[in-house]
A = this chain, B = another copy of it.
Amino acid sequence: MIRVAIIGYGNLGRGVEFALRQNPDMELVGVFTRRAPEAVETQGATAYHMNDLLAKKGEIDVCILCGGSATDLPVQTPEITHHFNTVDSFDTHAKIPEHFAKVDQIAKENNRVSVISTGWDPGLFSLNRLYAQSILPQGETYTFWGKGVSQGHSDALRRIDGIADATQYTIPNTEVIERLKAGEALTLTTRDKHLRECFIVLEAGADEARIREEIVTMPNYFADYDTTVYVISQEELNQNHKAAPHGGTVLHTGITNESTKQVIEYNLQLESNPEFTASVLVAYARAAVRLANEKQFGAQTVFDIAPKYLSPIDVETLRRELL
């Protein structure tokens, strides 16, 4: 049995708790939190304070880190990798090299494996970009996200004066995807690839016209997109827009022999973004423990890990049944 600790218990941590139930070769030691453990409502797991993690060192094979990339993981992944094998979903793309280098050094010094930046993007989408570009080097790779909720954009809406609550959907331009798949060569702007839909709840007396203008002109977040704003009630938002669906497409269109068109497409259609990300983290937690057993210490990403390490099934059976 692979013994797992969940570090941090938000939507992602809860997703890991669910995912572990589907993996009979893994068992959950407990949830570790900076909050008062008795205040954390798990789905059945015992909650401990983070200060008690080190005392459990002999009982844990891998820690799945479920904190955020902005402030939690840059500190937690290095710290915890001193003592445990770890898996994280660090997704600040620009800071991945720095994060990797820091964690890699600690992992090697302490004989640990740390799988960083896994999930679906970075993660499965990265894998598909790599496989596709390696196989069809004369080609173009396009990543489309959605339809799904962007937490970052929803947060940006909620920070606007006069907005009580909000949900933002990122929507891929499916017409453009179909044209690319049909072999058209398109030069795409940011605006061409995705649309944005905002469902907002106004505070009493808020100036709707000013708020609409502020949204569609917001730099980085909305100004470069075709953005539609819907004003709805808090009840409607709660009822229809509080789930966390997501997904997307990695499309690679290439040619062989000068003009023969070949298309590789990978799609995810997720009813719950955090639960799916959690399922990816759990599969890579299995890989982390196996790689540690083989003494392949250091930081690793999805690029470094042979696919067989993710499966609970032995490789002879995989060759016979899945190849």
Contacts and interface: CB of A to CB of B under 8 A. Distances in A.
A96 B305 contact: no
Contact of A275 (B19, B257, B270, B311): B257
Contact of A135 (B135, B137, B283, B303): B283
9 contacts: A23-B137, A96-B323, A127-B131, A134-B307, A135-B279, A263-B268, A265-B267, A267-B267, A304-B315
Contact of A311 (B130, B272, B280, B307): B130
A180 to B, nearest CB: 11
A58 interface: no
Interface string A297-317: 000011111111011100110
A120 to B, nearest CB: 9
A221 B245 CA distance: 42
A181 interface: yes
A257 B323 contact: no
Contacts of A305: 306
B304 A130 contact: no
Contacts of A279: 135-136, 256, 262
Given A135-B276, A262-B279, 13 more contacts: A19-B256, A97-B316, A97-B319, A100-B319, A134-B286, A135-B310, A256-B276, A263-B267, A267-B267, A303-B306, A303-B308, A303-B322, A303-B323
A100 B138 CA distance: 32
Interface residues of A, number: 66
A275 to B, nearest CB: 4
A124 interface: yes
A100 B315 CA distance: 12
A160 interface: no
A265 B266 contact: yes
Contacts of A93: 323
A119 to B, nearest CB: 10
Contacts of A138: 22
Nearest to A253: B269
A264 B269 CA distance: 7
A15 interface: yes
Given A96-B323, A283-B134, A302 B311 contact: no
A265 B264 CA distance: 11
Given A269-B262, A311-B134, A303 B278 contact: no
A260 interface: yes
